[in-house]
A and B are shown apart, each in its own frame.
Chain A
Amino acid sequence: MTRVIVVTSGKGGVGKTTTSAAFATGLALQGYKTAVIDFDVGLRNLDLIMGCERRVVYDFVNVINKEASLNQALIRDKRIENLHILPASQTRDKEALTMEGVEAVINELKETFDYIVCDSPAGIEHGAYMAMYFADEAVVVTNPEISSVRDSDRILGLLASKTKRVVENRTPVKEYLLLTRYSPERVKNGEMLSVDDIQEILSIPLLGVIPESQSVLTASNQGIPVIINKNSRAGLAYSDCIGRFLGEEIDLRFIDVKKGGIFGKFFGGR
């Protein structure tokens, strides 16, 4: 049965799109047929992170308005089999995402795909609400920063009250915490909230911790999801998240200060 996953956060700039791209790519690499939808109408960015911006012809809103078929709008990833991208519209406004329209598109995707990843816009407005409404599972992306944690808590409140699963009295959306831009050095120096602090405050299961890493910017510069880079600590941490999401037991890594020595010098900071 198809699972719908929303990647959300409330606060902007914490890594929702990076995470959506990594998640969708990771699931496809595991052999699942995966579609990733950009819900950020007017501020389309997922296509850039996925490196398919020049292949966008039709978009999500075109499909909702029946100006194009779903198959015409879906972009097949050139690198990875089983991975498809549905880009957001750059010119319309968010109100173009009608509840009925979004539901129709998701239902049609369910006929072919195992996973549907919804990349939510920032904020708690209509676009974010549409992205979470049909979700079975939610990945709440949080930075170890006070405003991000507070916004994540707000989003958790909405996930618990404003989703289709709740409205229909089914089991609530399954929530996971994904901590990004984590810096073990700063945590050790008492300058940054630790993973334990944040988990205690938000009290939802932890899916993983992505270390602060230069490779995330490099990946977005190149339009290659960071999870593909097996030399990147962020990429490896995302791979671990996929494993845990699929039920494997994998220990956290990159959450302690790096040990010195020649190994650390070679692999550190990537």
Chain B
Amino acid sequence: MGLFDYFHANRNSADVAKERLSILIARDHFHRNQPSFLAALQNELLEVIKKYVDIDQDDVTVSLDREEDCEILELNIALPEKGRYKEA
């Protein structure tokens, strides 16, 4: 299928636009309502963890999810191999 065919797919473009917009706007609203402390929280957590474990910025990910009326703060830390524990 060439690029030309791609633009002539069966669905009409207005429907595609509406679907894309609905998803986009839901996501915009989600980000708009996200607390502004999230980035600061991530940095402070990183500082604390760094005291004990040798990790980089990239080893920590923070995300906020929403289900019904409950918010889930998810924190992922990839721990390095044993040799890099500071106390050891």
Contact = CB atoms under 8 A, between A and B. Distances in A.
A201 B25 contact: yes
Nearest to A150: B24
Scoring B12, B21, B28, B32 by chain A CB atoms within 10 A of each residue's CB, the highest score goes to B21
B14 A150 contact: no
Contacts of A194: 14
A197 interface: yes
A189 B25 contact: no
Interface in B42-63: none
Contact of B32 (A146, A157, A192): A157
B22 interface: yes
B18 A150 contact: no
A255 to B, nearest CB: 14
Interface residues of B, number: 14
Interface in A195-215: 197, 201
Given A150-B28, A154-B28, A201 B22 contact: yes
B20 interface: yes
Contacts of A149: 21, 25
A153 interface: yes
Interface in B1-46: 12-15, 17-18, 20-22, 24-25, 28-29, 32
B25 A193 contact: no
Interface string A133-171: 000000000000010011001100100000000000000
Contact of A191 (B12, B18, B29): B12
A260 interface: no
Contacts, number: 35
B30 to A, nearest CB: 12
Contacts of A190: 12-15
A190 B22 CA distance: 17
Given A157-B32, A190-B12, A150 B17 contact: no
A153 B20 contact: no
A136 B72 CA distance: 37
A150 B12 contact: no
A146 B32 CA distance: 19
Contact of A201 (B12, B18, B32): B18
A201 to B, nearest CB: 6
A174 B22 CA distance: 23
A191 B28 contact: no
A183 to B, nearest CB: 11
Contact of A146 (B12, B15, B21, B28): B21
